[in-house]
Chain A
Amino acid sequence: MTQVSEDWLLEIQRLAIHRNREALVDDASLCVGRGTLHVIVGPNGAGKSTLIAAVLGLIPFDGRIVLNWKDSGAIGYVPQTFPVDPTLPVTVEDFLALSRQRRPVCLGLSAQSHRTVSRLLALVGLSGLERRPLAVLSGGELRRVLLAHAMDPEPELLILDEPTSGLDEAAAQWLEETLTTIKRGGRTTILMVSHDLDQVRRIADRVTVLDRRIVAEGPVADILAGATIRDLIPAGSARWRRA
């Protein structure tokens, strides 16, 4: 059994993920400190979302992923994409209640679910949108709903995959402020994938640069000082040869 330091919530040891004999992630090891906001950056195809999928237990992998739970042991997840069929008549409150009540949502929401949904929507600034179909939400609204979904029960580990992609400046700023507030609460550790280095500089504590392997890892000020993604990846790496 691997011993995990008290300071770490998540430890990834020699993670390797293959698809069709191609290594999507190879020999990646990293630790995510408890109560920190840890960001994984890297170019497209670097394996960032694949690594997240492994942490969530959604795909098979080699190596070890150890979670050192101390509190709720709950994981909240905001996926990168959430395609919604435009004719699907599932409302925001239906969606938020799906994981929260035993009674089928098609038979109505319990009073407790109504209260929880209202609280969650207030948390993400969407009060009053309970009855709106998911399909008519804007990209920013949908991302807020997904964050609301991820925040109940209060997660010990919150994972966000490119949460600001496709958002306008105001929505991205709101999300940054919200994540900062969640982190200050001290009960939730945040692991995020991002391609926006300016955003990472503003909100992250530590950063991991991934290009199928771990290229660099450390405090954000040390790793990202004035760098671009291209600066972070060694010039001779397979990434640029592929390009």
Chain B
Amino acid sequence: MTGFYTWIAELAQRGVLPSDFQYPFLIRGFFCVLVLAPMLGGLSHLVVTRRMAFFSAALGQAALTGVAIGLLIGEPLNAPYGGMFGFCLLATLAMVFVKRHATLPPDTLIGVFHALTLGLGLCLLVAVTRQFNVHQVESVLFGSLLTVTDGDLALLVGVGILVFALLVFQYNRLLMDSLNPPLASIAGGNSAFLEYFFAILLTVSIIVSLKIIGALLVEALIVVPAAAARNVARGTRNYLAWSVVVAFLAGVGGLVISTKLLVPTGGAVVLAVSGIFFVTMAISRVAAGFSRLNAPERGSH
């Protein structure tokens, strides 16, 4: 990879690329965004359609606990993936299982898990800070480009390809199950399988995105791109395209903000995506206003 980074840096020095591309961490960050945008943007429009925004937030918190567990069992600070994957997948399976078998509303149950994982995570973090400087853990909480390694990028690319490949096979059933589970079931979809399947895909995607976005802020890139897309999209194809475009613009915007203002990447990405959301909302309002103006006048009583 060093040769590749050197080549990109030379292009930046010659003015072919922006001067920021002289730095390997920024090149890695840009490639992370190239993978994250279609992956999280693509998942985003299904997350919102399946009403799993709160579930995603709870998973972000669970990842924090997973990091603490990973560090306590001796994993390296820059890659506590064993703890994250182990704990988050366990939390995901437990949440889906309880949601499917309990009679309480799903958001109430997820709220219970949300509180439980966060409480556990905070307790474990106290133990973690006896071994590590708390600022080292901040990068997991809020995301930091400086800590992203080539290994993280490779894992992100691998998971991105896997998520895409698996989603292609189940997309239509997932969407139908989101719209009307009985109709999906009659068409051959297994509602339980689809729920576990999507929850696991989401969990894995969130975990590999954490070092860029951060555990506390990953929810934003899972929910806001689809929310922004809904303001302007017509049709499923358009909805997916807008979700990905918004995620990509937020990622690139976040990188720029992060490097120029020296703020955590996760926070910068959230600022960017939130800004885009309000722009799309304004566009939607203006478009609706024009539609009303152009609509045939109706008689009043």
Q: Residues of A at under 8 Å CB distance from B?
A: 53, 56-58, 75, 77, 79, 82, 84-85, 87-91, 94-95, 97-99, 101-102, 104-108, 131, 133-134, 149
> Which partner residue on chain B sits nearest A102 by CB separation?
B172
Question: Please, how many angstroms separate the alpha-carbon atoms of A75 and B229 in the complex?
Answer: 35
The answer to whether B182 and A58 touch across the interface, beta carbons within 8 angstroms, is yes
Task: Tell me the minimal C-beta distance from A223 to chain B in angstroms.
Answer: 28
The answer to whether B240 and A90 touch across the interface, beta carbons within 8 angstroms, is no
State the 8 A-B residue pairs at the shortest beta-carbon distance, nearest first: A104-B171, A99-B187, A106-B240, A94-B236, A89-B233, A98-B176, A89-B239, A106-B236
The one of A98, A101, A108 that contacts B175, using a Cβ cutoff of 8 Å: A98
The answer to whether A131 and B230 touch across the interface, beta carbons within 8 angstroms, is no
Question: Please, how many angstroms separate the alpha-carbon atoms of A90 and B233 in the complex?
Answer: 9
B238 in the interface (beta carbon within 8 A): yes
The answer to whether B238 and A89 touch across the interface, beta carbons within 8 angstroms, is yes
Question: Please, how many angstroms separate the alpha-carbon atoms of A84 and B49 in the complex?
Answer: 10
> Which partner residue on chain A sits nearest B182 by CB separation?
A58
The answer to whether A53 and B182 touch across the interface, beta carbons within 8 angstroms, is yes
Given A56-B182, A57-B185, A85-B49, 15 additional A-B pairs, CB 8 A: A53-B182, A56-B185, A58-B181, A77-B186, A82-B179, A89-B229, A90-B236, A95-B179, A99-B176, A99-B183, A105-B172, A106-B171, A107-B237, A131-B234, A134-B179
Greatest chain B CB density within 10 A among A57, A82, A99, A106 is at A106
B180 in the interface (beta carbon within 8 A): yes
The one of B176, B182, B235 that contacts A79, using a Cβ cutoff of 8 Å: B182
- A-B pairs with beta carbons under 8 A, tally: 79
Q: Which residues of A contact B233 (CB under 8 A)?
A: 89
Question: Please, how many angstroms separate the alpha-carbon atoms of A58 and B49 in the complex?
Answer: 22
The answer to whether A77 and B182 touch across the interface, beta carbons within 8 angstroms, is yes
Task: Tell me the minimal C-beta distance from B228 to chain A in angstroms.
Answer: 12
Q: What DSSP secondary structure best describes chain B's contact surface?
A: helix
Question: Please, how many angstroms separate the alpha-carbon atoms of A53 and B172 in the complex?
Answer: 22
Q: Which residues of B contact A87 (CB under 8 A)?
A: 230
> Which partner residue on chain B sits nearest A105 by CB separation?
B236
B16 in the interface (beta carbon within 8 A): no
Q: List 17 A-B contacts (CB under 8 A).
A: A53-B182, A56-B185, A89-B230, A89-B238, A91-B234, A98-B176, A99-B172, A99-B176, A104-B167, A104-B168, A104-B171, A106-B45, A106-B175, A106-B237, A106-B239, A131-B235, A133-B234
The answer to whether A94 and B235 touch across the interface, beta carbons within 8 angstroms, is yes
Task: Tell me the minimal C-beta distance from A231 to chain B in angstroms.
Answer: 32
Q: Which residues of A contact B240 (CB under 8 A)?
A: 106
Question: Please, how many angstroms separate the alpha-carbon atoms of A108 and B236 in the complex?
Answer: 8
Q: Which residues of A contact B45 (CB under 8 A)?
A: 106
> Which partner residue on chain A sits nearest B42 by CB separation?
A106
Question: Please, how many angstroms separate the alpha-carbon atoms of A97 and B187 in the complex?
Answer: 12
Q: Which residues of A contact B183 (CB under 8 A)?
A: 77, 79, 99, 149
The answer to whether B239 and A58 touch across the interface, beta carbons within 8 angstroms, is no
> Which partner residue on chain A sits nearest B239 by CB separation?
A89
Q: A94-B235, A131-B235 are known contacts. Are A79 and B230 too (CB-CB below 8 A)?
A: no
Q: Which residues of A contact B236 (CB under 8 A)?
A: 89-91, 94, 105-106
